[in-house]
Each structure stands twice: as structure tokens, then as C-alpha cells.
Structure 1
Amino acid sequence: MKRVISFKAATVMLMALMLVTAGCGNSSSSNSGTAANAGTAANTGTAEGGSGKPAIEKPRVAFVYIGPPGDGGWTYEHDNGRKYMEEQTGIKADTVENVPESADAERIITELAQDHDIIFTTSFGYMDYTLNVAKKFPKVIFEHAAGYKTADNMGTYFGRNYEASYLSGIAAGKMTKKNLIGYVGAFPIPEVIYNLNAFALGAQSVNPDAKVSVIWSNTWYDPTAERQAAVSLLDKGADVLLAYQDSPATIQAAAERGAFAGGNDSDMSRFAPDNYLTNPTWNWGPYYTKVVKSVMDGTWKSDQYMGDLKDGMVGLAPLGAKIPEDVKKLVEDAKAKLLDGTLDVFAGPIADQSGAAKVEQGKSLSLDDILAMDWLVKGVDGSIPK
């Protein structure tokens, strides 16, 4: 039976484990990886994979979530991916919900490493904590979402969701009547910045007069704070909104004012069907299945996987029922060009807020440049806090 662990319960379990360990007189250095390694040995087959790690016939899998699966967005889709993996492999995974991006995460991940073979940590802020634990448990495999640090037993995975943000921007640029679009940004980190910029560039590609005003909520999942940010943008005059958080609060606030809006991560049309725009979506299931199967057959190796629209990890939610057909066609045409490679979201010329050239005509940003983005494109009203 799948075990769902709350953050508080997992903390209590870890404290108990630490007390037992201390009572046995084992130091952390001599104890690192022992429990996990013993379990791995019990499940080990005879095949050796490209990583040099033995195959595990029935690996024990765990997921660490930043929020609840009921958030309707980020964690909801990771949990859908977990369910898909279970159906495809027959492996039942454990989950820990509402784990903060703090030292508490490292304690939880450490506890899971005692008796799991694969651990997926599903938020950017878990990166260093995951790496710290990976170093202590070299025979446990770790996969971290949205990060950039790896180890022999730790890989990363994410996707070019800025492609879908660009397409969402096209819809927003055509639907605004006031040429003022609001964007509720989560945190001023590169991931959110390049999605905001892609969204603005998409809007400007069909409406050069469109401006995008950003407010940072500094949350991943806080419906109250996200609603307040959305209301502030509506009060400012924005008539179309997009939010880069996990809750549908922005969509619901916009619907109350008769404005169109999109969210993030998942198809959120059910929250305000008459006022839904569209938004980027995720499909994690095939990747989770691939990783677990690679551990089962001994072929797993550390990698930095970057999915996109073409492989289906990144998607675009269906445009809302009240979005005109001509707007839908513009979006579909742009999507086709992204898929065949004739459209590059960050191809020049692109200027920053001051008007200075950041990407010249005939050139485009490299993926490394995109993933480190710390500037806003011309036409974005707002700033990046220092």
C-alpha cells in the first residue's frame, strides 16, 4: 500500500531514528547509506548498467512534494506523473507532502534515503539539500526537478516551458483590450524570469503595444497572497492575467472581474471556464516511468534532462471556450513552428527594459543563457528585486 507521509510525521520519524542510531553508538559517517544500501543489495539483480549501478528488480521509490497534490497545479501534476509511473511499472511509491525548501527538507530526504532506492525531489529549492544527502547515500539514486547540480547518483530534469509561455503570451496579446497584461510571478529566479520574458515576447509578437506588468508574490502555493497580487494588477487596469504559481487563485480573482486569465502547470480551465485563457502544462509521467525502468534494468545514469513541446513533457492547456477561433489559429501556427524548429522564442533582436540590445538580429540565446536569465525584456513593467 502506498504510504503518504506528512511533513510533521516524517520529522517525528526521523527524530526517532536519530535517537535509535545515537543509542547504538553509530556515528553519522559510519552510518551513511547503510540502511539504504542493505535494502538495495536485497533487491539487486545480476545485470550491470551503464552507470555501474546494479539493477534493482523492485526499487523502492519516494517523492518529495513542495505542496499538496490538491493544489491543482505543480504538485498535482507531479502526483499524476507518480500515478502514471505506478501503472506502467507496478511499483508503488511513497510521498511526503508540504515539505518546505529549508533545512527541514534535508532531514526529510535523509529519512527517506534510509529505506528507498530512488528519491524524486520536486522543487528547485531542494537542490542543495538533495545533493547533500546524495553524497551521504551513494547507492541511492536521486532525481531533482528544475535544478542544475548533479552527482554520480543524482540527476536533474526539467523542460523548456518557456515555449508554452510564449504561446500563452500570443493568446494574451490578442485578448487584451487595454494593452495591459498582468503577470503574478512566484519568485524572481531565472526559471520565472525567462517564462515571464517569453510570455511578454509572445504577446508582443501579435500586439506590439502590449505591456506586461509583473508583481512578485514570493510564493509557490499561497492562494491568499496570490489572489492579492492578482487583485492589485486588476486594480491597475490589467484585463488579462497569467500566474506562475501552483494555485488557481489568480484565475478565480480575474473571473470575478470579467477578465481572462491563465495559471500554470496544469489545465486550470475547471476553476473559471468562462474566463480561462490557457497556460503551460507539465506531463511528468513518461519521465518518471523511464527513470524507474532504467533503475530496474540497471541502465540509469546521471543526466540533466531537458524536455520540451516536442517530447511532450511540456504542453499547452486547451485555450478557453470563449477564445476566438482566429486567436486559437495564431497559437496553433506558432506551436507548429516551435515543433519544426522554425521559431525560436529567444531569437533576436531582443532588447531589455532600458532598450539596450541583449540579443542581436540573427542570433539567439543559448540554453545556458536562458537558464541563467536575470534581466527583463522591453515592455515589461516591474523589476527584479536584488
Structure 2
Amino acid sequence: MSTTPTAELSALGVSIWLDDLSRTRITSGNLAQLIAEKNVTGVTTNPTIFQGAITAHIGYEDSVAAQAAKGATADDAIFAITTADVRDACDIFRPIYDATGGVDGRVSIEVSPDLAHDTEATIAQAKELHAEVDRENVLIKIPATKAGLPAITAVIGAGISVNVTLIFSLERYSEVIDAYLAGLEQARDAGIDLSKIHSVASFFVSRVDTEVDKRLLALGTDEAKALTSKAGLANARLAYELYEQRFAESRATDLIAAGANVQRPLWASTGVKDPSLPDTLYVTGLAAAGTVNTMPEKTLDATFDHGVVEGDTVTGAYGEAHELFAKLADLGIDFTDVTQTLEDEGVSKFIASWHDLQATVASALESAKGTQA
């Protein structure tokens, strides 16, 4: 029997999630087709994705008109429209959710990026989004900022499943794991069924190469150039090593014995930005059981078409990854500064997309009101 690269990834234990969502994808049957043909088992969204979808207007005219008729603000309309999309996508993925015991069939929706440094407001909005979508298979995305960490604990502690986003460093990832375990402990103490709580930790990949390579090329030496396009994979592989270590410790295993789930690593930002690199690099190079790879459609199509799946490409590469970071340090690459720069830029980019989305929806509401007048 012939098989496909996406089927091979799935058989290896990699969950393939699409990093995109729109009303048209839902209503046209495209999402269902990707599930059937390309092994897609979940969806992730962010403000940039919704900004692009709503800016295109296709499929949103009726929703905007209905919100305008209610006199909704831009923020109210965004909340209503995006949660409706996520709710409908959750319904499409529900059979997968049921079949996998809640592991897959997941759809993510993010708290407002404006709240990235406000713990209490993040907690409040996470609970609002969860209640409004009202589907077991929704994941609430919370950024792994310092203010986001206690919010992750509180939201997990309330029994809500979370996608922790914008993770770049191993140090912050370890804090994310602590936040997740603390939330599970709170949920356990409150008598909440731990088996219903799931979480993924979204480790960003390609952006690491973009920033590190910029610094390496600025050095201009052959030694520095030889290390380009390697840090993203190495950083993610060491994240998987840390995942294996932390979830084998007694604090985690005690919770797992009580019914809790591990927090799976998710590879995000897997679209290749350097055209000289293989377009499936951050998929086939990060194949390991128990991971999620969330792909833009272009990357998904490339993987399906010509991805070469060579089994586990992570667990045997820890030594090489450690060596790479030793070499980067020897060259004076401050990786702590790299990851903080990326986190700051990531938050800023999402905030900018959020404000663009607010402006787009505000303009669309005004136009709809004019039509209704």
C-alpha cells in the first residue's frame, strides 16, 4: 500500500495541526478535506491569522452585519466572530477528540495580546473565551511571558486546557512546565478530573534561526557561517530532552498516576523563512513521538507532497545540539539575549496584528451600519 509523508508522521506519533482558520475553510469543507486527506488533527489560531481572514472579508459579511445591527464595538465583534469560528471548528474536530481521548481534535484561540503582561486580565479573558466557545476540545492560548506564567497555573487549576505560546528558551520552558504542574496540583486539590485537562507548550522554531543567523552573519567568519540555520532545530531538540526529563520526575509522575496528562511539546513557527533551506526542514527535522507540529498550509502542502520522513530525528540528536550551543557561546552569541529579543518581538507583532484587526473590524462595522441605515 502506498502512503503519504503526513500519514508517516502521524504513524510516528506526530500530531499535525493546521496553523490557520477562517470561516471559508469551515463552510467550504476545506477543513474536513484536510482532515481526511492530509492527516490534520487540530488547528491553531492567533491574532495575525484572524486579521488576515477578516481583512479578506470573504465569509464574514453576514457576521459583521449582525454585529453592526447590535451596535457592537470592534472588540465585542471580534470576540463574537472568532469564538464562533473556533466553536464550529471544534465541532468538525470533535470525532478526532473523542477517538484520541482528548489528545487531538483541538482548536486554539488566544487571549488578547494586549494582556500579555497582565496576569489577572489574562485569567479573566481565558475563562470568558472558554465559556463562550463552550466546547471541551478548545485550547486557550496564553503567552509564556512572566505575567503569563501565573495565569497558566490559574487557568489550568480551573480545569481549562491551555496552549502555552511564544516559548523560545529552555529556561522559560522549564518555568512553563512548573506552571502547568502547579495548575494540575490546584485542580487535583479542587477535586477536578485531571484526565480532562490537556496542554501543549508551543516552542517557536524558525524565528530562532532568523535571529541567530543575523548575529552569526554579522560576525562574518567562516566558522560563524558554518553554524547558520542550525540553532532552531537544536533548541527544539533540547526542549524535547527537557520535556523527557521533567515529566519523568516524581512531581509529574505522581500527577500522571492520578490521571493527569503530560504537557506535549508543540513546534510552532515551522514555515521556513530562508528560501535556501528545505521547505520541510522544521517538520522532518523535528519528528518525535508525542509532539505536535502546527504548520502553515504552505508547509503542510510541501510536507504532504515531498517530505521525507526518516523516523525519530530528535532523541538521537541531543549531543550534537549541546555541542552547537557550546560553539555559539564560544563565538559570543548571547542566546539569553536572543530569546528575550524574540519574546519581546513576538508580543509586539501580535499586539500590532491585534490592533490592525480592531481597526479592520471597526471599519467594517461602520460600513455595515451605513448599508443598514
Q: TM-score, normalised by structure 2?
A: 0.31
Structure with greater Cα Rg: 1
What TM-score comes out, normalization by structure 1 length?
Answer: 0.30
Higher helix share: 2
